[in-house]
Amino acid sequence: MGYSTNNPIQFESVSQTTLTNSVELGRRTTDSSGNEYIYVYNAGEYQIIPGRTAYLLSNTSGYSITATNTASQVGLFAGGVHHATIATAYYGWIMTRGLAAVSPDTSAVSFDEGEYLAVGVNDGYVDAGGATFSTGARIGFCISSGVCNEGATFAGDLGKGWIKSDIW
């Protein structure tokens, strides 16, 4: 016997971002590839672009996220922004589990295929090679390398990785 799920009808794309919430905060959905998403609010000071990480604002913030994180390999990884930039004070979808675009954080130069990923300092991923399970959770696995370059070729510099939020 096979396993299947039946999601509610989704009237909004996971690429959609809005100034006013059009979906209930915390709503979850799965796309046709099996990637899982959750609907959140960017309560931080910075926009979050595709390939970057989103962190839970605080332990009591519900579904409010931010792009900033205090230290590498520390923080509450909410998910990755995969499709569209979530501007400050906007609502949007973040991927909580699946194959996502991944980019190194501002302190990292690159990461390579086959490396485990951990949360970075701000809005990016870092190689988890120096982390222990007690100091930094592995939140993903890199399947194609990425470089830190937000110039004209930025979209081509994103790597790909399997990610999983450590809170959802």
Give 19-56 pLDDT, tens digit per residue: 999 999 999 999 999 999 999 999 999 999 998 899 99
The pairing of strands 140-144 and 28-30 is unpaired
Spatial contact of 127 and 113, defined as CB atoms under 8 Å apart: no
Model pTM? 0.84
Cα-based torsion angle of the residue sequence 156, 157, 159, 164 in order, rounded to the nearest 10 degrees: -100
The tokens of 142 are what?
């890199």
Is the Cα torsion angle 5, 8, 9, 13 positive or negative in sign?
Answer: negative
In the prediction, which pLDDT does 8 show? 55
DSSP state letters, 122-147: BSSEEEGGG--TTT----EEEEE-EE
Lowest mean pLDDT among 6-15, 101-110, 117-126, 159-168: 6-15
Do 102 and 158 meet the contact criterion of CB atoms below 8 Å apart? yes
Q: What does the pLDDT read at residue 151?
A: 43
* Lowest mean pLDDT across 16-25, 33-42, 88-97, 112-121: 112-121
* pLDDT for res 12: 80
Question: How far, in Å, CA of 52 to CA of 81, rounded?
Answer: 6
**Predicted pLDDT at 103:** 85
Tokens standing for 122?
């701000």
Q: How confident is the model at residue 64 (pLDDT cuts 50, 70, 90)?
A: very high
- Residue 7 DSSP class: P
Give the model's pLDDT for residue 147.
65
Question: Is residue 117 a contact partner of residue 123, using CB atoms and an 8 Å limit?
Answer: no
